[in-house]
Amino acid sequence: MILLRSNLKEIFSYAFWGIITTVINLAAYSLFRINNIISVQIATALAWFVSVLAAFITNKFFVFKSSGTSFAVLFKEGGLFFLSRIFSGVLDVALMTAAVYFAFFPEKVSKVIVNLIVIAVNYLASKIVIFRKNNE
């Protein structure tokens, strides 16, 4: 029961910080697009980077409570975190392409289902690979 309560607390924390990260992404994008000086593509890429950095920090310290702060630990966890987010981004595009263009599922339904899969993949990658307890 304690383990279940601990996992639920972690999942709710992951969801809360995920919402905060989404807000950071939107705010960063809006900031980068002020006066349309930066292109949509570059603003999107920069906002993605800022939000993934924020997600790394919040996941490391508040969700999975990884305490290692040496350069080696930060470099390893940060590198794995960014690689996993790149992988899940590619997975998102691939699954959306397959669902919409090959399986002919409705686009909006596909996006919801694919987003749930990507969120689960990101959570599991963080819990099992990136911030596992014996990482330090």
Measured N-to-C along each axis, helices 71-97 and 40-58 cross at an angle, to the nearest 10 degrees, of 130
pTM here? Answer: 0.89
The residues, any chain, with a CB within 8 Å of residue 65's CB and separated by 6 or more, are none
Give the confidence band of 133 by pLDDT, cuts at 50, 70, 90: confident
Closest CA to 52 of 89, 15, 8: 89
Q: Which two tokens stand for residue 15?
A: 């969801």
Sign, CA dihedral 83-22-115-103, equals: negative
pLDDT of residue 135: 52
Q: Is 69 in contact with 114 (CB distance < 8 Å)?
A: no
Q: Which amino acid is at 130?
A: I
Q: Extract the tokens encoding 101.
A: 């263009």
Q: State yes or no: pLDDT of 61 exceeds 60.
A: yes
> Which sign, positive or negative, has the C-alpha torsion 4, 9, 13, 15?
positive
Tokens of 64: 């999975």
pLDDT class for 43, splitting at 50, 70, 90?
very high
Whether 108 shows a pLDDT value over 60: the answer reads: yes
CB 96 within 8 A of CB 114: yes
